[in-house]
Copies of this chain bind each other. A is one copy, B any other.
């Protein structure tokens, strides 16, 4: 079994699903639990009544299995409060995905986004076909998800009752932190990290940082720049303030970008090519695939001029723009290499 989760789905006034929150989704449930779930639920989305919830608790706890116990704990909480959930335009669901196929419903889309943000699946490792089609555009408010066609009435009636609704976002993707708080992570402004972002332990996303879905930082990292959809940043690599990683959706071509370990993209800099390990782009310099770069040999003598795309994925590079000739230059990043040797010497 690919994945499973008990979830709370918010609905609009027609009963259509706006989002789904999975408190504890599972990637590849262990054999014992998978066998039980397979018997109990259909592939895809299963709506659950209180009666059904009550029936599940005993067999789940009876498995005597830690993973199953944790799920039984959630089902008990769901069961205790179905009534109020009904009032609140919510549905309780079990989503079972036998295999990693194209996305067929909103709850399935949310389950996959949860798997990414729980760091259970790496970006670019899952089938996300159908994601955009199955994610409705939602008004994300301080009173929860609201259908855009219902928002003006909600804003009006709140005001007339002396209450207040903040519309935080109008988007297909909600902020991650309303669903998943990965351990060991700090996020200065949570409105800038979408559900489906992957943030490994030790990662800090500062106020100017942004992380899209199906993208992320393996941790530890300092992220003050933008991580576009599909981009993965390796351990100990930092993105300076407002720095840019060019996305495939926005003119970056077909190469999927990634950064290796111990890289630094300086403040207001950017890259349109993937970087290996220990690469640096100086503050304010934007390297695109088509940038002509003078490649300097280790002895400092000019060797040749090439397009940056020919350096894609290589390690130990330092990119600067010479401040007196305006030339974009790439040197072997000797400082980083030496640092690396020091580290090895201390092993």
Nearest CB of chain B from residue A233's CB, rounded to whole Å: 16
Contact indicator per residue, chain A 73-109, by CB within 8 Å of chain B (1) or not (0): 0100110110011011110000000000000000000
Q: Are A156's CB and B8's CB within 8 A?
A: yes
List chain B residues, Cβ under 8 A from A328.
323-324
Q: How far is the CA of A213 from the CA of B172 in the complex (A)?
A: 24
On whether the beta carbons of A165 and B178 are closer than 8 Å, the reply is yes
Q: When the two chains form their complex, are residues B264 and A244 in contact, meaning their CB atoms are under 8 A apart?
A: no
- Are B272 and A244 interface neighbours, CB within 8 A? no
Q: Which residue of B lies closest to A209 (CB)?
A: B207
Would A77 and B327 count as touching, CB distance under 8 A?
Answer: no
Asked if A169 meets B181 with Cβ closer than 8 Å, knowing A268-B270, A323-B327, the reply is no
Q: Are B172 and A192 in contact (CB under 8 A)?
A: no
Task: Tell me if A156 and B189 are in contact (CB < 8 A).
Answer: no
Among candidates B88, B188, B272, residue contacting A171 with C-beta atoms closer than 8 Å? B188
**Cα–Cα, bound, A16→B171 (Å):** 35
A142 to B206, CA, bound (A): 20
Query: Once bound together, how far apart are the Cα atoms of A26 and B322, in whole Å?
Result: 51
List A residues 231-287 near B (Cβ within 8 Å): 238, 240-244, 246, 250-251, 264, 266-270, 272, 282-286
CB pair B267 A160 closer than 8 Å:
no
Contact A186 B170, beta carbon cutoff 8 Å? yes
A288-B293 in contact (CB<8A)? no
- B167 near A191 with CB under 8 A, answer no
A152 to B242, CA, bound (A): 31
Distance in angstroms between the alpha carbons of A305 and B157 in the assembled complex: 61
| Residue A201 at the chain B interface, CB threshold 8 Å | no
- Give Cα A155–Cα B143 distance, bound, in whole angstroms: 13
Contact digits for A204-224, partner B, Cβ 8 Å, 1 yes 0 no = 001110100000000000101
Q: Say yes or no: is A112 at the interface (Cβ < 8 Å to chain B).
A: no
